[in-house]
Amino acid sequence: MTLLKGKNIVLGITGCIAAYKTAELIRLLVKSGANVEVIMTESATRFITPLTLSTLSQNKVYIDMFEEPENYSIDHISLADKADIIIVVPATANIIGKVANGIADDLLSSTIMAARSPVFIAPAMNTNMWNNSIVQENINKLRVKGYYFINPESGDLACGYKGDGRLRNINDIFAEVSDYFNIETPLKSKKILITIGPTREYIDPVRFITNKSSGKMGVAIAEEANRLGADVTVITSVPVSLEGIRIEMVETTSQMQEALKKHFCSADILIMAAAVADYTVKNYSDSKIKKSSSQSELTLNLAKTPDLLEQIAGIKTGNQIVIGFAAETNDLIANAKHKLESKKLDMIVANDVSRNDIGMNSDYNEVSFIYPDSKIEQLSKTTKQKVAVELMKRAIELVNKT
């Protein structure tokens, strides 16, 4: 509980039936010693009264962006500057869309735009809205820019539907916030190198072959490693904004290979979360290949790309840790074990990419951590942030053994 003592937490509440649950969240935060400043959207006041939240937080509740400011301070700037963390509970599709697209037309969205502190977002909405492709694109956009999401649960919704979209249990949200302020930094002296996203292999200047990897898993790992105090470098093909993390952009497998050669020698831990292309186009065309009316087919000659994981694991020193990923559609454990052994890895994370509810381009994953001594630790379906937490716990154990 002492983790939150003296912390300034700005709690944003938007117009959703789950807004009433924030009363309990405020109670838990205040009881733990946090100073809670509440910003409500106009719609949120239709679901729970500002008086209730002011009484619980023992602070003024902010609603109107154009209210006369106190002490000549502009509310959205002063609140943003004061915040150690901003959490939006519940977050509607509307506020997510605003933030994702740089819209700041009320006090809450303006405060988030002005914030330098971490922003946690706990969505709650109808299941069809949650699964809407536009909403998911907005969420993905914010994830890669470093926003933290506390994903909703699946269950009965107030609208009568059943499915994903119900606000996460308040105790879970409180735990996520508390965990963020865990100031232990077991990786403070360690350098961690992480590869993120797919690689592209160009056919001509405008076309390429690639895979479904979104980079979400790698981003979550980078954020967790950074939180644990590590000096983190990411090599990524996915545009990301990660505060305090060194970023090197690449596109092709050969570019990732060169970046790995440059950074691996100084790394204590390498986590190969990238989905590297297995094949590249053998005869790249310098000009765009034109579609011919007389030609009904186009044949591409492919050549194997270098096995980056095998190459890098083969040159590691005794104290370096190399962790790989195995994305499989069948014989998951057997194929992952073979990859672990053949490439002489310190650990491999196996996940089934044949399922639509986990793995590539999903917010969730279900993995098995496999070790050279054949020990297997399984992690049930959970968010990729939780997978990252569990992965880094095991990485720390591996480091401590060297």
pLDDT digits (tens, 9 = 90+) for 15-24: 999 999 999 9
Contact 89, 36 (CB under 8 A): no
In this prediction, residue 69 carries a pLDDT of: 58
Please state the rounded mean pLDDT for residues 156-162. Answer: 82
Report the DSSP pairing between strands 35-40 and 201-202: unpaired
SS (H, E, C) the chain: CHHHCCCEEEEEECCCHHHHHHHHHHHHHHHCCCEEEEEECCHHHHCCCHHHHHHHHCCCEECCCCCCCHHHCCHHHHHHHHCCEEEEEEECHHHHHHHHCCCCCCHHHHHHHHCCCCEEEEECCCHHHHCCHHHHHHHHHHHHCCCEECCCEEEECCCCCEEEEECCCHHHHHHHHHHHCCCCCCCCCCEEEEEECECCEECCCCCEECCCCCCHHHHHHHHHHHHCCCEEEEEECCCCCCCCCEEEECCCHHHHHHHHHHHHHHCCEEEECCECCCEEECCCCCCCCCCCCCCCCCCCCEEECCCHHHHHHHCCCCCCEEEEEEEECCCHHHHHHHHHHHCCCCEEEEEECCCCCCCCCCCEEEEEEECCCCCEEEEEEEEHHHHHHHHHHHHHHHHHHC
Confidence (pTM): 0.68
- Strands in 8-13's sheet, in edge-to-edge order, are 61-62, 35-40, 8-13, 85-91, 119-123, 148-149
* pLDDT > 50? residue 1: no
In this prediction, residue 72 carries a pLDDT of: 46
In which band, very low, low, confident or very high, does the pLDDT at 183 lie, cut at 50, 70 and 90?
low
Radius of gyration of the chain from its Cα atoms, rounded to whole angstroms: 23
In this prediction, residue 73 carries a pLDDT of: 56
Cα separation, 343 vs 347, in Å, equals: 10
Residue with tokens 């916030």: 177
Catalytic residue status for 265: no
Exactly one of 134, 159, 300, 303 is catalytic; which is it?
A: 159
Cα separation, 34 vs 57, in Å, equals: 9
In which band, very low, low, confident or very high, does the pLDDT at 109 lie, cut at 50, 70 and 90?
very high
Please state the rounded mean pLDDT for residues 41-51. Answer: 97
* pLDDT > 70? residue 169: yes
* 300-333 per-position pLDDT tens digit: 999 999 999 999 988 998 899 999 999 999 999 9
* 73-101 per-position pLDDT tens digit: 566 688 988 899 999 999 999 999 999 99
